[in-house]
Structure 1
Amino acid sequence: MINKRPCVILVADSNMAATFRGYFKRDGWHLSLGCAPFEMNTDVGADLLVDEGGNDPGVYTKGHELLRPYQSSHHRALVVLDCEWEGAPDKAAIVEHITARLVTSGWAEDAVKVIAIEPELENWLWQDKPQVADALRYKGENPLRQYLADSGWWPAGVAKPPRPKEAVEWVLRQTRRPRSSAIYQELAEYISIKGCTDAAFAEMHAAFLAWFPVEIPA
C-alpha cells in the first residue's frame, strides 16, 4: 500500500512557487498558521507543481488534469491562482469551475481547495513592514509606505495597494532591481503571517487548519 504524501500544491507561475517555497523554509512555519506540521517538499514536481505554461488560464482549464496523477500519491490538493487575467470570470466562478473538475476527476470534495487571489499574488506580500522595503531594495529617505502614498500607489487608509502587482513593478523600477522569483521567496520568508489580511490567504489558512489540526492531548 502506498504511503501517501500529505498535500500537493499546484500554482500558476514561478513567482507563486517561490512564495510557497519561501514560506515553507521558515523555521516553525506551522506555528504561524496554528496548524499541525506536515511534510512538504517544495522541489518543483514533488509536492509543489507549476503550470508548465506559467499562467492562470492554464491552471483554470487543465488544473484537474495536472493533478490527476497525484490522486494516488497525495491525500489533498491545493490550487492557487490569480483572479485577474484576460477573459477571467469572477472569483466564485473560478473556484467553482476548478473544484468541480477536480471532484469529477476523482478527488474527494473535502480533499481539495481552490484559492483565487483578488486581484493577484502580490496582495499577499504587501505589508507596511521594513522587510518589504528590504526585499525591494528600497532605501529612500521616507518610509516605503509614505513614498508609495505620495506617488499615488498606496492611498492612506487602504490596507493594500489597489494595484499590488503594478506597485511592486514600479518600486523595482525606482530601485533598479530586476523583477525575479527570488524577491517573492525573500518576502515570503520574512513577512508577518498575522499581518496578511487578504481574504484568499485567510481561506487557505482555514483549509490548513481543517486538514492539519493540532492534536490536543487528552
Structure 2
Amino acid sequence: MSDHKRPCVILVADSNMAAAFRGYLTRDQWHRSLGCAPFDFNPDVGGDLLVDEGGNDPGVYLRAHELLRPYLNTHERVLVALDCEWDGSPGKQAIVDDVSGRLVSSGWQASAIKVIAIEPELENWLWQDNPLVADALRYRGESGLRTVLAQQGFWLADEAKPRRPKEAAEWVLRQTRRPRSSAIYEEIARRISIKGCTDVAFMELNAALQEWFPAEVPT
C-alpha cells in the first residue's frame, strides 16, 4: 500500500454513530484502550470520518461503495458501520456480505475492508453496568440505574445489556428530561471501559483495528 495514503476512512450511518467513534478514537491513550498501535486519524466529520446523514442505515447498506469510491486513491483501508435493525434489513450476515462485496467490486482490496453491522443498534455499544453511563444520561435516582431499568423490564438480571438498548436509553432520557444528542454518545464512548464492552460487533471492530494496526510487543 502506498505510503502517501491516509491509514483508514470510516463511514457511519448517522451523527450519533460518528460521535461514538469520535469518543473511542479521541480518548487519552485510545490506542492502548483498543489494544492497537496508534495511527493518524482525523476524527472530524469530513476528515477521515464520514456520515451518510441522508440515507442512514439503508443508505449506507445500498450506497457505501459509491460514497467511498472517491477515497480509493486517498486511503488505505475502509471501515463501514451501521445498525442491523431497520425496515427492510436483510440481517447481519447479508449486510456484511453485500456491502463488502460491493466495495470489492468498486476497487477496494478485501483485506482492506471491514463492515461492522451492530445488532440490534449502536446503543448496544454504550450500555454497561457502570456509573459513568448513568452520569452521562444525567440519571440521579436513589435506586441504581440498572435496578430501575430492571423494574421497567428493559434490563433482565441475567443479561449483560438491555435487550432493547435504544428504547432503554430513550426511556432514561425522558425521565431525566434530557434530549437525545450525539454529545451523550461521545461522552459515554470516551469514558466507559473498553474491556467492559462485550458487544460482538464492537469486538469485531476492536479485532480489525488490532489486525490492521498491530501494537508493538515489547522485547
Q: TM-score, normalised by structure 2?
A: 0.97
Q: Which runs of 5+ in 1 are unaligned?
A: none
C-alpha displacement at 1:54, in angstroms?
Answer: 5.0
Residue aligning to 1:208: 209
C-alpha displacement at 1:45, in angstroms?
Answer: 1.0
Aligned equivalents of 1:78, 1:90: Cα separation in 2? 18
C-alpha displacement at 1:65, in angstroms?
Answer: 0.5
SS of the residue 1:53 aligns to: coil
C-alpha displacement at 1:2, in angstroms?
Answer: 7.1
Give yes or no for the alignment of 1:155 onto 2:156. yes
Give yes or no for the alignment of 1:60 onto 2:61. yes
Aligned equivalents of 2:208, 2:49: Cα separation in 1? 17
C-alpha displacement at 1:215, in angstroms?
Answer: 2.8
Give yes or no for the alignment of 1:33 onto 2:34. yes
Could you tell me whether the CA contact under 8 Å between 2:10 and 2:49 is conserved in 1? yes
Aligned equivalents of 1:165, 1:34: Cα separation in 2? 28
C-alpha displacement at 1:90, in angstroms?
Answer: 1.3
Residue aligning to 1:189: 190
Aligned equivalents of 1:30, 1:137: Cα separation in 2? 28
Matches within 5 A, 1:100-139: 100-139=101-140
Residue identity opposite 1:203 in structure 2: E
Aligned equivalents of 2:53, 2:135: Cα separation in 1? 31
C-alpha displacement at 1:217, in angstroms?
Answer: 5.7
Could you tell me whether the CA contact under 8 Å between 2:15 and 2:53 is conserved in 1? no
Residue identity opposite 1:68 in structure 2: R
Taking only the aligned residue pairs, the percentage that are identical comes to 71
C-alpha displacement at 1:52, in angstroms?
Answer: 3.2
C-alpha displacement at 1:167, in angstroms?
Answer: 0.4
Runs of 4+, deviation exceeding 4 Å: none
C-alpha displacement at 1:151, in angstroms?
Answer: 1.2
Q: Deviations over 1:162-215 (max 9, x none)?
A: 100000000000000001111001001101100000000111111001100123
Residue aligning to 2:5: 4
C-alpha displacement at 1:98, in angstroms?
Answer: 0.1
Could you tell me whether the CA contact under 8 Å between 2:127 and 2:165 is conserved in 1? yes
SS of the residue 2:72 aligns to: helix
How many corresponding residue pairs? 218
Residues 2 and 215 (structure 1 numbering): CA distance in 2 closer, same or farther, change over 3 Å? closer
Could you tell me whether the CA contact under 8 Å between 1:35 and 1:212 is conserved in 2? yes
SS of the residue 1:113 aligns to: strand
Aligned equivalents of 1:125, 1:201: Cα separation in 2? 10
Residue aligning to 2:173: 172
Could you tell me whether the CA contact under 8 Å between 1:14 and 1:54 is conserved in 2? no
Q: CA RMSD in A?
A: 1.1
C-alpha displacement at 1:25, in angstroms?
Answer: 1.6
Residues 54 and 136 (structure 1 numbering): CA distance in 2 closer, same or farther, change over 3 Å? farther
Residue aligning to 1:72: 73
Aligned equivalents of 1:76, 1:156: Cα separation in 2? 40
Could you tell me whether the CA contact under 8 Å between 2:57 and 2:83 is conserved in 1? yes
Q: Deviations over 1:48-107 (max 9, x none)?
A: 000031510000000000111001111000000000000100100000000000000000
